[in-house]
A and B are shown apart, each in its own frame.
Chain A
């Protein structure tokens, strides 16, 4: 366990080293939230609420969705793809740790860095500029915390899957790009799932993506109440478990291929 904690720490330090990244990141996330705020204000016009979300809730939803994205988002799919292409994975395999867990821990290190130095100050800035409401119920905060941890796990699992897919595709860039686009839309980052037409919602109900952004953001804005919260968390937990299976299968196949082809 110690080595995984060390991995988190190292990644954390690495992130601190890139300060241009840090400053520009806060600025750009704020601009993003701002632009969406105005877009949604225009969409709402005079309407008090759409799909049971008021404009304040909607703004909060966007702010929290972007700030949570800072936590769950990582580039480990690209990193894995690069390491596979450059043949570094073979070396990683003989190291005394589990490669995939290691990657996940690196992602976690990045995530913790961003949520502390990025989302929290960013949220404070955004709070003073835009009409955002933070809930006063401690329980909601707790549920939200659990929910974003699960969303990190789901997103990272999907990243691992796309990363490992590089073993089977010559050039994986297209797939990685497509995945990113799909996640932005189907996770509810740019649009709450409840805004979609009914048939689309029911399809998305069978996909893991809404666990990444929609569920934690709805919990935070209290768009989900009571059993809705529990339901959402269970949905996320279920996907965490289910996604574990294809990862193991693909990884086992990939390892076999690596041995046969020698990287």
Chain B
């Protein structure tokens, strides 16, 4: 099986100088400087097959953007092997970028002062897209993204959501088999997000477009990606199915109790000592959360024991969200299953 993205031991280091403090320090900096090396991406390996939609997640500064920039040929790796679409991105850059589409959520690909369709026309020329193909393919993209009415407006007059849809269209002018999306839904409202997700699914189904997407918004990942790759301090800490992540980490449920009086941790632990329960105090001594395995019997037993011993005002059972799962993983800094 050929991989569309094949990365081995990829590493990127940045050297930076640190400034000394104060006037005297600044003056010394004129002559000598302190340099430090920071490893942004630390020997990662990953493979992505054609047609996959993969979520690439991590906290700020975890190395997501740096990885994406190496995969798109913007940055040259310090060491390691990268093959994307069978090419070495930074070596054959001009040839390579024809085979990818890139959308940076915080940076426009379009020309600020000119109408959207003029930008498209320029890009068509830049990517040397034949007329017939452009006409049929773009007509389709424009229709699906519903950007027809925006075409004759200059980009600076568009709202963020309108602009983002146009950015997506612009990235697809040459119908690339691989699409990189860096924070594509940042700052967008729910409706636009839905529309964009819908569209991505559609092109994935229709053209088999492989999509690698970084985002802060896990609902994007939940809606689109079967696979997630998680990054922490430059290292991959999880690479696998989103479903499995949930099963391994999110199989538990939480039971939230609101008692009519203050209760103590040891009382609750004593009550539920037969089961594996993690008790956590809420905002005050009368609100407590019990994390338990997702098993009806256990849940019933725990609730039964607690309610029998203490008077409660309210009770709620909630599933752990992906967001919480991920927070847990980062807090523990390790993964049980890769």
Contacts and interface: CB of A to CB of B under 8 A. Distances in A.
Interface of A: 9, 12-13, 16-17, 19, 22
15 contacts: A9-B23, A12-B23, A13-B23, A13-B26, A16-B23, A16-B26, A16-B27, A16-B29, A16-B30, A17-B19, A17-B26, A17-B29, A19-B29, A19-B30, A22-B30
Nearest to A22: B30
Contacts of B29: 16-17, 19
Interface of B: 19, 23, 26-27, 29-30
Nearest to B33: A19
A246 B164 CA distance: 44
Contacts of A16: 23, 26-27, 29-30
Nearest to B26: A16
A137 to B, nearest CB: 33
Nearest to B28: A16
A198 B122 CA distance: 56
A22 B31 CA distance: 11
Nearest to B22: A13
Contacts of B23: 9, 12-13, 16
A22 B29 CA distance: 12
A13 B23 CA distance: 7
Residue of B19, B26, B27 most packed against chain A (CB within 10 A): B26
Contacts of A19: 29-30
Top 5 closest pairs, chain A to chain B, by CB: A16-B26, A19-B30, A13-B26, A16-B27, A17-B26
A9 B30 CA distance: 17
B114 to A, nearest CB: 16
Nearest to B23: A13
B157 to A, nearest CB: 15
A16 B22 CA distance: 11
Nearest to A9: B23
A262 B29 CA distance: 42
B112 to A, nearest CB: 12
A23 to B, nearest CB: 9
B50 to A, nearest CB: 43
Contacts of A17: 19, 26, 29
Nearest to A117: B30
B126 to A, nearest CB: 26
A12 B26 CA distance: 10
Residue of B19, B23, B30 most packed against chain A (CB within 10 A): B30
Residue of A9, A16, A19 most packed against chain B (CB within 10 A): A16
A16 B23 CA distance: 9
Contacts of A12: 23
A234 to B, nearest CB: 37
Contacts of A22: 30
Contacts of A9: 23
A4 to B, nearest CB: 18
A17 B33 CA distance: 11
A203 to B, nearest CB: 40
A95 B114 CA distance: 35
B325 to A, nearest CB: 39
Nearest to A12: B23
Contacts of B27: 16
A73 B30 CA distance: 22
Nearest to A13: B26
A17 B30 CA distance: 7
Contacts of A13: 23, 26
A240 B26 CA distance: 34
B222 to A, nearest CB: 36
A90 B19 CA distance: 31
B44 to A, nearest CB: 34
Given A13-B26, A16-B26, A16-B30, 12 more contacts: A9-B23, A12-B23, A13-B23, A16-B23, A16-B27, A16-B29, A17-B19, A17-B26, A17-B29, A19-B29, A19-B30, A22-B30
